[in-house]
């Protein structure tokens, strides 16, 4: 079975298993998703969802965040970890959005990655979930599961992104990555995958 065939089978199997491919971060607009995704680095989505209501109540948009004090933002996001770095990033990215993008969260990978603290994973999530463009969000679940499926043998997220862009149907790639997160949490866990429960066991290279 070729990598293309495995990728297509994986898309269909996960679509059947997890029909609702939704981001687990809670947000109301592009700015909120950008902030929540930055906070989610080295932190659980569940924790971020507990922190963001108070943060967004005080700083609901790029203009208010750009004028925030670092110390105040640090206090609001302290439980997310790496809060000092994240606070600086949130304020600086907000200033850049105002200065370089007329206050609107940009809709391209290159533009988004020009913002402080925004990498390709975050940028792909924004362009996929907000702007409906083909996107491949390479997080730890995506890296682990696609490697086990035999779609690559890489450890570099950007290389994996390029490979998956070639293998996945463009219209399916964003939802596929969301479903990988759900599958990684429920079944294909890092140390002890529950292969007997996996909807992809028939064609997963780990089981062949």
Q: Which residues are catalytic?
A: 121, 139
Q: Helical H runs in 78-139?
A: 83-101, 109-113, 120-129
Helix H or strand E segment including 8: helix 3-17
Rounded to whole angstroms, the Cα distance separating 200 from 155 reads: 22
Rounded to whole angstroms, the Cα distance separating 81 from 70 reads: 15
Rounded to whole angstroms, the Cα distance separating 181 from 153 reads: 19
75: CB partners within 8 A, 6+ apart: none
92: CB partners within 8 A, 6+ apart: 115, 116, 117
User: Residue 168 has which token pair?
Assistant: 């996945």
Longest C-alpha distance within the chain, in Å?
A: 56
**Taking the CB of residue 139, how many other CB atoms lie within 10 A of it?**
16
Three-class secondary structure assignment of 158-184 = HHHHHHHHHHCCCCCHHHHHHHHHHHH
User: Residue 135 has which token pair?
Assistant: 């996107």
């Amino acid at each position: 079975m070729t990598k293309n065939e495995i990728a297509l089978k994986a898309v269909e199997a996960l679509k059947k298993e997890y029909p609702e491919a939704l981001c687990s971060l809670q947000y109301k607009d592009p700015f909120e998703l950008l902030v929540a995704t930055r906070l989610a680095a080295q932190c659980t989505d569940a924790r971020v969802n507990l922190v963001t209501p108070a943060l967004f109540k005080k700083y609901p948009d790029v203009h208010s965040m750009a004028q925030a004090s670092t110390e105040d933002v640090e206090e609001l996001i302290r439980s997310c970890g790496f809060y000092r770095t994240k606070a600086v990033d949130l304020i600086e990215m907000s200033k850049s959005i105002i200065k370089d993008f007329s206050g609107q969260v940009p809709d391209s990978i290159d533009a988004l990655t020009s913002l402080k603290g925004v990498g390709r994973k975050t940028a792909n999530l924004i362009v996929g979930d907000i702007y409906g463009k083909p996107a491949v969000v390479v997080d730890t679940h995506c890296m682990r599961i696609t490697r086990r499926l035999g779609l690559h043998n890489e450890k570099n997220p950007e290389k994996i992104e390029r490979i998956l862009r070639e293998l996945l149907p463009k219209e399916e790639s964003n939802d596929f990555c969301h479903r990988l997160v759900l599958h990684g949490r429920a079944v294909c866990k890092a140390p002890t995958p529950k292969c007997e429960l996996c909807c992809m066991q028939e064609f997963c290279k780990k089981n062949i």
